[in-house]
Structures are given as C-alpha cells and as structure tokens.
Structure 1
Amino acid sequence: MGSTFMGLETAKRALFTQQSALHTTGHNIANANTPGYSRQRVNFGTTTPFAPAAMNQPQIPGQMGTGVEASSIQRVRDSFLDIQYRQETNKLGYWDAKSNAISEMENIINEPTTNGLSAVMGEFWQSLQDLSVYPENDGARNVVLERGQSVVDTFHYLNDSLNQINDNIGNEIGVSLDSVNSLLQQISSVNSQISDVEPHGNIPNDLYDRRDNLVDELSGYIDIRVTATKSEGDPAPEAEGLYNISIIGANGKEEILVSKDNHYQLGFSNGSGNLSTTTPDDISQLAIFSSEGKEIVSKKLPIADENGNPLFSQGGLRGLIESYGYSYEDDAGNTQEKGTFPEMLDNLDRLAFSFSQTFNSVHEKGIDLQGDTGQSFFTNLGGNHQNASKLISMSDITSKEIAASTTTNADGDVNAGDGKNAVNLSNIQNWLMNDTAVDLEGYDGDETLDVTGFNRLGSASMNSFYEGVIGKLGVQGLQANRLAGNSEVLQQSVDEKRMSVSSVSLDEEMTNMIQFQHAYNAAARNITMVDEMLDKIINGMGLVGR
C-alpha cells in the first residue's frame, strides 16, 4: 500500500505547480503592453505514478497518481506566422524606400504645374513666337533673354536638387548599413546568452522574444533566412536553439551573416580591405566583413548582373540602392549605370544638351539687328551630354544680337520686319530629333538642318521626350505607392494573426488567474484534509478503553 504521507506530497506538488502558473499569469499581465512580448504558459504534466513498473513492485490494485508538476514554461509563438511577417516586412521595406525616393523626386520635378520645366520652356517658346511678330522690338527681345535665363536656372535647380536628394539617399544607405550591422551584432549577442542558458535545461523565453524582435527589424532591410541549431549540453525539448541567419540574393544565393558562435558585417570596402559604410559615388557591389571589420575576399555581393538585373537581396537597403544608382559591367565589358535618380539626371542632361545645341545651330543661321550672322545663344557644351543640365548657361549675348531674321534688304541691312528665324527657333520644340533634314522657313531656296548630331533623345521631339520622362515617373510612383500600400496591408494582416496567437489578452489572463487560484485553494484544502487524517492517526490511536 502507499505511504500515509503520500496524499500530502501530492497536494504539495499541486500547490507549487498552481503557484507557478499564477506567477506566469502575473508576468503576462505585467507585460501586456510590452512591444514584441509573447505570452507564456506553464505546461502541466503528471509526475511518475506509484508504483513504477519493476520486478519488486508492491502488490496493489494498480498505479496511483502522484500529482502534477510544471514541466516547462513556454512562450506561445507560431513560427510560420513569423516567417510570413518577415516576408511582408521585407517587401514593405523595399517598396517604402522606392516610394519615398520617387515622392521626393516628384516634389522636385513638380509636373504638371505652372512652376515646372515644361511651363518655363513653354514661356520661352511663346516669347520667341512673340518676337517673330515684333522682331525689332527691344522689349520682346529682352523677354526672350529673360525666358532663356529662366530655362537655364530651372535646369540648374533641377540638377542641384536631384543631386542633393540623391546624396541624402546615399547617406541613408550608410545609416541603414550601420543599423544592419548593429542588429547582426545584437542577434549574435543574444545567441550567446541563450547558449549559456539552454544547456542547463532552462528556456529563456524573454531572450527568445528579444531575438525575434531584432530579426523582425532586420528583415525590413534585407531578405534573410533563419534556421535554428540545437544548443550543446542538455537543452529542454521546448528549447528553440541558436539562430543562423543568411542573406538571400535575388538569384537565390545565400551568404551566412550570423552563425551560432559568430557574426559578420555588411558594407563597402574602403580600398584597404576594411569595412566602410560610407556610400561611394559608384556602387557596384557590397562585401561581407568579419566581426572585426576585415573584408572576406571570397564573399562579394554584386548589385546586378551583366544585363543590369538586380542580384542584391530584396528589402529596404536594395530599394535605397536602386534609387541612388548602381553600376554594372555589361557583356562587352563596358560600365553601365542604372537607378532612379541617375536615370532622371541623365534624361535632364540629354534634354538640356539637345535643346541648347539645336537652338544654337538654328540661331547661328539667322541674322541679328546689326546684320550679322547669329552667334551661340547658349554656351557650347561640346559633344558630350553628361552634366549638361548643370553646365548649360547663357552666352554673353545682347538683345540686339538675337538672330530673329533670315534675310537682309537690298542695302545689306537687316530686314527688321522679318522674324522668320524666331519662328524656326520656336518650332524646335516639335522637331523629331532623328530627322536628318529639318526644313527652315524664310531662306532663299530650300534651307534644311540636320539635327541628328545633337540628338540625345532618340526618335522623340523635345516636348514628347520630356512628357515621356514625366509619364514614366508618374507610373513608377503610382506603382511604388500601390505596392507599398499593399505590402503594409498584408503585413498588418499577418501581424494581427500573430498577435491573436502571441499577444496577451487580459480577459484570458484574468480567467486563467481565477482558474489557477481555485486550483491552488483546492490543493490547500486537500492538505488540510490530509492533515486532519494524520492528526486522527497520530493523536487518536492507542486511546481505546480510556
């Protein structure tokens, strides 16, 4: 038969176990508003029954239960929802970075409004048309000069502003890399703390939460894969182990960033093989460095392939890099550049170059008020369109030197009433830039101009080219905003599901508290009952006959 004191031990175990459950419930309630906290629960399990199966077990009707124990305290978490949340956070980080960059660009370009480049150039074309009606009027001529200067100033403003915003994005890339490396270091540190706890059979739930919060934040910058490695020693079955974190490129290639006993850093090489998070003017690749900041030569992370297709990991960091611009080497070994801001700046340079050079060529064919052949209206930018929107400027031309006419009279003096070259100048906006022979008005015989030497716009006219650039920007902005919004909705949806599993419900905790309190009171009452039985046996036996 069992021990007389067996019931007392069973009740004692119940007291301790229900007390642990009450303490855990209190911990949940205390952290109900703690960001990233996962509610915890006590896993109850029956203790070894009496008598255990053995050759010398006592002859009793069957095994009797010996009570309950708290086998473990485990956090409630769904790893599948964690994976989903990180995937959506990664997409949101990418599209949010793209959306913000394009939004900044749209604010600068400011089209279509009365203050954008198209409106300024429209005023310039109109001033030339007005001049064609009154070619001898000095006021109309001064308006042309002022409108021309406005076009130059607008090109300069757009170039300076876009470059300034792009420099800010470059700084943001460096800040993001610092954040990534800080997160990697912190995750590795938490890994180390977990590795000190798990081998002893303990389950560090709060450390798990802290690590998962860091991983969630990291997933917004880069695409990662998380795998777990079992700790050494004798960890509990519920122990989650140590995280290994890899960065995943767009080509599916993985590189380890955090292992169970080490971590690496991400950045640019400073030329001496040491880590740098200062964004260079030309980004072609990132590299993985040791925890001490030394470059690991075998671990390069190219940004794009030979066709310019991104290879770098999806996420906020890639969104910033694609906006800032990156370079790659094509099949022919030539260095090419892509990116939202570099492409816009290049389009502005092409427009400024084609506009100024074509305008000069037509202006130089005309005749000014002094009877001289026209000179350059804008400074000569040479044969290269690069930085044209920055370098374009007005030449030292006076109002009388504007070549608005095409003919002279019989005395060789300028025909003051002839403003046909001003008409030619105003028509430039609609010329197709791949035309080899553009007809000019007002000249004796057929006068044509081959503008292909100044063409950097393809088969488009100046107006249609700029409209195409603005249209493309609008579509890109709309797509980025839409996908950023979609990603945010999906992230919130997954987060709500995750919170429904892991977050603290005060109503549920209060219910559990009452449940565990009643169980505790019942166990205490059971001890009282056993105590009364023992009192009867100890103090009531041997009194027969008295």
Structure 2
Amino acid sequence: MSGLFGTFNIAKRGMFTQQKALDVTAHNIANANTDGYSRQRAKITTTRPFATPSIHNTAEPGQLGTGSQIAAIERIRDSFIDFQVRAESSILGQYSTREKFLSEVEGILNEPTDTGISNLMGEFYKAWQDLSKHPEGSNTRVVAAEKSASLANSINHTYGQLEKLKENSKELTRSAVAEVSALLDQIDKLNQEIMTVNVSGKMPNDLMDQRDMLLDEISSKFNIKIEKSNYEGINLKAEDSNLNMIKAVNNKTEVNRLSYVDSIDAKKDPSTGQYTGDIEVTYYKLGNKLSAENKVTVTLKMDPADQNEISRIKKELEDSRVIWTNVNGEPVDDNGVSLGTIDSVTGELNLDPTKSFNTSLFKPSKGELKGLMSINDDIQKYENDLNRLAKSLAWSVNAIHTKNIDKNDQILFFVNKDGGSEDDINASNIAVNPEIMKDVMKIFVGSSKESGESDNERALAIAGLKDTILMIQDIGSDIKTREDLIGVKGSNGFDTAPNEFFIKNNVKGMKMDAYFKNMVNKLGVDAQEANQTAKNQRKLLASFEESRLSISGVSEDEEMTNLIQFQHAYQANAKVIATIDELLDVVINGLKR
C-alpha cells in the first residue's frame, strides 16, 4: 500500500537488502585467501510493485515500486576457463610425471661419466688390447678379467635400478588409482548435497567451489568429461570412455570405478620356454591393498599355439595395470557390461568365456596415469636395450673364446650367474665365469690351447669387437641364440683372414658402444621433450589460472569499495525510516495540538 507506512516498508526492505549485501561482501573478504573460493555477488532486484489501476484501487501517475530484495547470491565463475584449466592440467600431469621419471632414468644410466657403461666398455676393450700385446703375462689377464667383471656388474646394477624404478612407477599407479577412488567418493557426496540444497531453492555456492576444486585435482590424473544435470548436479566420465564415474541421479548400478592390476603371471613350460596359454592376473578393487577382501584373481585361458597373441595380451596388461570395474568390483567393458562374477568365498573371478579381460583396460590419452603407463613402457624398452647389449657382448666374446676348442675343453667367458643357459643371458644375470675369476690362466688368448706365449689372436679378436658391427637390434626377435648372431640370421660369422677369430661386420647392424650411445641419446631426447612440454604447460596453465583468478578471485580493494557503498545505502535507508518517524509524529501527535 502507498502512504507513510508504505514508504516505511520500502526503507525497511532496503535496510535488509543492504545488510544481506554486506554479509556477502564480508564473506568474500573473509575468504580472500581461501584456495578454490569463487567470489560471490548479491543480485539485487526490485520487489513486486503495486498492482495496475483498476476499479478496486486508485489510479496513480505511475506504477509505484515497493523496494528491493536479494533475488540470488551468485557465484562468479567462468565454466569455459574451468574447462581449459582442466584440459591443460591433464597434459601437465602426464608430462610432469614423464619428466620426473626420465630424469631418474638419466641418473641411473649416469652418462657420460667415468663410471658409466660407455667408459667401462672402453676400458674393457683396452684391457683386451693390452692382453693381446702381452699374452704371456698373468697381470694383463687379471686386468682383462676384472675390467670385464666391472662392465658386467655395471650392466647388472643399471638393470636392477631400472627394475626398482619400474616397481616404483607401478606403486605410484596403484596409489593414483586409490586417490582417484577417494576423490570420486568425495565428489559424489558433494554432488548429492548440492542437488539437495538447490532443490530447496538455495544456491550452494561454497559446496560447488569444493566440488570444482576436487574436479581440478582429479583432472590432473586423467582427462575428464563433465556433463551438467538438473539442480546444479553433474555427470562425470573419463573423456576416453562411455562409463559413468559420477551420476547426478544417484544410481549406483550405473557408476563405475578403477581398480589396480597388481600382478600378471604368464605361465611358461620350463622344458620349452613357451607360454602354456594360462595368464594369472591379480587385481585389487579401487587400488586398495589394505584388505584381503579387495583381492581378486582370474586365470585367462588362451590358445598356446598363438604365442604372439599371449605376449600381446600380457604386454597390454603390464602397460596399463588399470581396469574398469563396477560397484561389485567385477571388470566391465566400455559399455558397462560385466565380464564375469566374483566368487564370494575364494575371491576368484569367473570370467565369461565369450569376453576378453583386456576390454576392461583403462587407457587414458592424458593425465598422470597416462604418464605412468607410458614411463613403464619406456623403462621396459630401456631394459630390452640393455638385454640386447648384454647378449651381444656375451655371445660375441663367448663365440671367440670357444672357437676351435674341443667341446669338453670349452670354457664360456661370460655366463648366466642365475644358473641358466647361455641363451638366457641378459642384463640382470651376465657375469664373468667364476672359474676364470678364480684362475685367469683359463682365459684362452691364443689360437689354440697349445699355442705359444706370443700367440694373441683370440685376445686381439675380442679387442676388435670395439669396431665390429653386429645385428644387435634384431636380438630377441629374429636372433635368439649365439649361433643366430654369429651365423646365418645375423649374417656375421667369422673371418678367414688375416685372423680367423675376427667376427665379420654386418653393414645392417651397429657397434656395441654405438648401440648403447644411441640408447642414451634417445633417452636424452625423450627427457628433453618431457621437460620442455612440462615447462610450456606450466606457463600455459599459469596463464589460465591467472585469468580464472581475475574473474573469480576476491579483490580486497573492490570489496572495500562495495562495503562503503552498501554501508552508505544502509545509512540512507535508516535516514528514510527516521524521517518517516518524524512525519508520523506530526500526523499522530501534532493533531492533538
């Protein structure tokens, strides 16, 4: 209604409105340094005016207003910048992980240094060259044996350190999976609270800030896709998958999580060394190894005749180590179809024979998990390179050391210290024969067992391996034995003149020291790429975060200006009430006089 009491109500509403605006300003100032906080703004609108003129009310010059009100408390946020920040966070998570691990691999290889493999290979060749000059002496034999042992030990140690680093990457993968599960549970809980508050007509700004912080955090683990739903709820998926991780309508049967593959054991026939077709896989639900109830085992049955397929499936599992599971911990494919059921007593997964377990593998294209998966593959490649180097060294030296020696009298210079065959020598087990280390006079230096003191042909040939070109890169694929390398497949063989112990060059191969240097150079390029990409991503992400702060961050100067503005408006409304009070006093008490 109009009149003095109507004006009084307008001023009263104005005071309440300015007070609420002061509350919002005070909240902003209080959270000026709160991580993830988005500044809020009171949206002030007019209240419903007096009705239009009719036969029931008096016509007036204009539609008279009735004051102001707080229509909403808005959160100042730019969703497009949030999208950019999260997309770049995924890329940074991937390359910062690669940067860290590749830097550690560089430290393990320790090249170029006086104690690195390259330098020890040089000393190895030099020791054999010195032995060829003094074949009659025991001192040069001792040096040759010791330098050979030092090289073998260094290869062993390097391989062992790479294995430890690979185990570390696996543990970090498990930890990341467990962390993702915890983050998803928190986001899901906040999601439901936000919708509950929003249904009641209020805007849960602070809860939405908390949810956005968690979304920022999880985006560094892998690239995410957010779909907005009713009542400020969201559906959350991995960008590379169709499976729901968070669902606005809290239907648990449609929600999926990640689990960690702890071990992959591809069974082999000890007599043939071939895969039997059984791959035993153990995984832990949600990456939680603290409880035995979370452990699930499954045996994959494959065709033993298809050795390449078994090897491929095994490698895919080792490279990823993360699978999709439903709420029961059963693996699912990308359409959410369960691949089997878990026996509640034994904890074994009864796999559907028509399904492939590998369809449950989680393969993100970006993020920390992608970085860990790629680094595990990279480390395996470096280990394979070391294995080829160890095999080429052992096989070539052994070929020269045993050539033209009766089989009963042959002594391998390099052996498998684990007790396996020469064919199974690799970077982890290569060692100088203990017989030779005990008695260096068992080193064959000359052309035959009965050769004279000046005969140095065999030692000279081993020293000549420095310049020998071998098919090292084919070891493990086409070349699986010493005979393959120094024979038909390797196309090397022995020379006939002037020294029949020299191994012939194969122009399609490479020298051993060059092969190792190529490995180190590739590592350097990979590390530099990861370092530069991570550096660029940090700058780009910082610029996006600065843009987000310029929009959502609290400016204390701006808030102080608003504080003064709302304070003056509050005082003005109070003055209106005081004026109305005086006018009412005139009307009520003045009429008596």
TM-score, with structure 1 as normaliser: 0.85
Of 414, 418, 430 in structure 1, the residue corresponding to residue 467 of structure 2 is: 430
Cα distance per residue 1:475-534 (max 9 Å; x no partner) = 000000000111111111100110111111111111111111111111111111111111
The DSSP-based 3-state class of the residue aligned with 1:393 is strand
Letter in 2 for 1:120: L
1:8 shift after superposition: 0.5
In the other structure, the counterpart of 2:301 is none
Q: Does 1:317 pair with 2:369?
A: yes
Of 469, 474, 495 in structure 2, the residue corresponding to residue 439 of structure 1 is: 495
* Structure 1 segment 143-154 matched on structure 2, within 5 A: 143-154=143-154
Q: d(CA) in 2 for partners of 1:177 and 1:54? A: 69
In the other structure, the counterpart of 2:393 is 355
Give yes or no for contact 2:364–2:370 (8 Å, CA) kept in 1. Answer: yes
* Structure 1 segment 297-446 matched on structure 2, within 5 A: 298-299=335-336, 311-324=363-376, 339-365=377-403, 375-379=411-415, 382=421, 384=423, 388-395=426-433, 396-397=435-436, 398-406=439-447, 413-434=450-471, 435-439=491-495, 443=499
1:150 shift after superposition: 0.4
1:363 shift after superposition: 1.4
In the other structure, the counterpart of 1:330 is none
Q: d(CA) in 2 for partners of 1:345 and 1:406? A: 35
The DSSP-based 3-state class of the residue aligned with 1:42 is strand
* Counterparts in 2 of 1:273 and 1:127: CA distance versus 1, 3 Å: closer
Give yes or no for contact 2:91–2:220 (8 Å, CA) kept in 1. Answer: yes
* Counterparts in 2 of 1:273 and 1:92: CA distance versus 1, 3 Å: closer
1:265 shift after superposition: 1.4
Give yes or no for contact 2:468–2:503 (8 Å, CA) kept in 1. Answer: no
Letter in 2 for 1:344: Y
Give yes or no for contact 1:406–1:442 (8 Å, CA) kept in 2. Answer: no
1:70 shift after superposition: 0.8
Cα distance per residue 1:438-463 (max 9 Å; x no partner) = 536654xx5664688xxxx9722212
Structure 1 window deviating more from structure 2 (426-435 vs 467-476): it is 426-435
Letter in 2 for 1:470: V
In the other structure, the counterpart of 1:492 is 542
* Structure 1 segment 24-423 matched on structure 2, within 5 A: 24-52=24-52, 56-231=56-231, 241-249=232-240, 253-260=241-248, 261=250, 262=252, 263-268=255-260, 275=285, 277=287, 282-283=318-319, 286-296=322-332, 298-299=335-336, 311-324=363-376, 339-365=377-403, 375-379=411-415, 382=421, 384=423, 388-395=426-433, 396-397=435-436, 398-406=439-447, 413-423=450-460
* Counterparts in 2 of 1:288 and 1:167: CA distance versus 1, 3 Å: same
Q: d(CA) in 2 for partners of 1:267 and 1:64? A: 65
Q: d(CA) in 2 for partners of 1:438 and 1:390? A: 28
Q: Does 1:541 pair with 2:533?
A: no
The DSSP-based 3-state class of the residue aligned with 1:179 is helix
The DSSP-based 3-state class of the residue aligned with 2:115 is coil
Q: Does 1:509 pair with 2:587?
A: no
Q: d(CA) in 2 for partners of 1:124 and 1:20? A: 82
* Counterparts in 2 of 1:217 and 1:258: CA distance versus 1, 3 Å: same
Letter in 2 for 1:405: G
1:58 shift after superposition: 2.5
- For structure 2, the residue ranges without an aligned partner over 5 or more in a row are 263-280, 290-313, 340-357, 472-490
Give yes or no for contact 1:285–1:301 (8 Å, CA) kept in 2. Answer: no
- For structure 1, the residue ranges without an aligned partner over 5 or more in a row are 232-240, 325-338
In the other structure, the counterpart of 2:353 is none
Give yes or no for contact 1:367–1:403 (8 Å, CA) kept in 2. Answer: no
The DSSP-based 3-state class of the residue aligned with 1:74 is strand
Q: d(CA) in 2 for partners of 1:106 and 1:273? A: 31
1:364 shift after superposition: 1.6
Q: d(CA) in 2 for partners of 1:283 and 1:350? A: 21
Q: d(CA) in 2 for partners of 1:274 and 1:425? A: 51
* Counterparts in 2 of 1:284 and 1:210: CA distance versus 1, 3 Å: closer
* Structure 1 segment 518-537 matched on structure 2, within 5 A: 518-537=568-587
The DSSP-based 3-state class of the residue aligned with 1:541 is helix
Letter in 2 for 1:480: A
Q: d(CA) in 1 for partners of 2:175 and 2:513? A: 39
The DSSP-based 3-state class of the residue aligned with 2:72 is strand
In the other structure, the counterpart of 1:234 is none
Q: d(CA) in 1 for partners of 2:76 and 2:157? A: 56
Give yes or no for contact 1:366–1:404 (8 Å, CA) kept in 2. Answer: no
Of 526, 530, 533 in structure 2, the residue corresponding to residue 480 of structure 1 is: 530
Cα distance per residue 1:104-159 (max 9 Å; x no partner) = 11110111111111111111111111111111121111001111110111111011
The DSSP-based 3-state class of the residue aligned with 1:130 is helix
1:290 shift after superposition: 3.1
Give yes or no for contact 1:274–1:295 (8 Å, CA) kept in 2. Answer: no
Q: d(CA) in 1 for partners of 2:18 and 2:522? A: 66
Q: d(CA) in 1 for partners of 2:551 and 2:320? A: 43
Q: d(CA) in 1 for partners of 2:283 and 2:154? A: 42
* Counterparts in 2 of 1:273 and 1:117: CA distance versus 1, 3 Å: closer
Give yes or no for contact 1:92–1:315 (8 Å, CA) kept in 2. Answer: yes
Give yes or no for contact 1:269–1:276 (8 Å, CA) kept in 2. Answer: no
Give yes or no for contact 1:136–1:417 (8 Å, CA) kept in 2. Answer: yes
* Equivalent residues, number: 498
Q: d(CA) in 1 for partners of 2:135 and 2:422? A: 31
* Counterparts in 2 of 1:425 and 1:53: CA distance versus 1, 3 Å: farther
Letter in 2 for 1:472: K
Letter in 2 for 1:421: R
1:322 shift after superposition: 1.4
Letter in 1 for 2:442: E
1:406 shift after superposition: 2.4
TM-score, with structure 2 as normaliser: 0.78
CA RMSD across the alignment: 2.9
* Counterparts in 2 of 1:74 and 1:142: CA distance versus 1, 3 Å: same
The DSSP-based 3-state class of the residue aligned with 2:194 is helix
In the other structure, the counterpart of 1:237 is none
